[in-house]
Chains A and B, each alone.
Chain A
Amino acid sequence: NAGVIQTPRHKVTGKGQEATLWCEPISGHSAVFWYRQTIVQGLEFLTYFRNQAPIDDSGMPKERFSAQMPNQSHSTLKIQSTQPQDSAVYLCASSLENQAPLFGEGTRLSVL
């Protein structure tokens, strides 16, 4: 079992550019979560899917951020017109029903 796979591990973008982050959940897991981690704010919930359907995106900034799960094997988080304050580690997690989410190693996004 390879665990949750996130790519790329590191991404550097210029201010105003677009960034797309990829997540491959553990096979058979029905739920996929996206979190963002910074030193100041800690781990913050962004959004999650269950059986590929978006369930709760209450943590997503309403502008510039979007997430999709086109099939059961991957999810993407897209940030348009990136800003320096978007710099963070973006973590994806997946879980079976009623079990603790298991995290990927994250993508460290640096916006210059």
Chain B
Amino acid sequence: GQGVEQPDNLMSVEGTFARVNCTYSTSGFNGLSWYQQREGHAPVFLSYVVLDGLKDSGHFSTFLSRSNGYSYLLLTELQIKDSASYLCAVNSAGNKLTFGIGTRVLVRP
């Protein structure tokens, strides 16, 4: 089966960075996706990774280590508006997603 684990909460300071960790165990892995979700709104797609290593997308970067079942989302130059929940999801056959519970990131001044 699939298990996706993330910390519940993370606090950081405006202008610095935040790293949201995700570990997974899976019987079928086609890739890993990250979504941002604000209260009362839909999850918004941020990044999809399938190869090991760091994928730099500017404000958001993602890292994947398939052998360790580990990924992280790195948010740099944090702004207050980055406060949101960040969801890690494993993509399996058919593009079906298995989500973690989400990490609530709070950026304070």
Contacts and interface: CB of A to CB of B under 8 A. Distances in A.
A binds B: yes
Contacts, number: 53
A43 B87 contact: yes
Interface residues of B, number: 20
Which size class do A's interface residues fall under? 20 to 34
Given A42-B101, A43-B87, A100-B33, A48 B96 contact: yes
Nearest to B50: A98
A42 B42 contact: no
Contacts of A43: 43, 87, 89, 97, 99, 102
Interface of A: 4, 31, 33, 35, 42-45, 48, 50, 55-56, 91, 95, 97-106
Sorted nearest first, the 8 A-B pairs with minimum C-beta distance are A43-B99, A103-B42, A42-B101, A100-B45, A105-B42, A103-B43, A100-B48, A100-B33
Interface of B: 33, 35, 41-45, 48, 87, 89, 91, 94-102
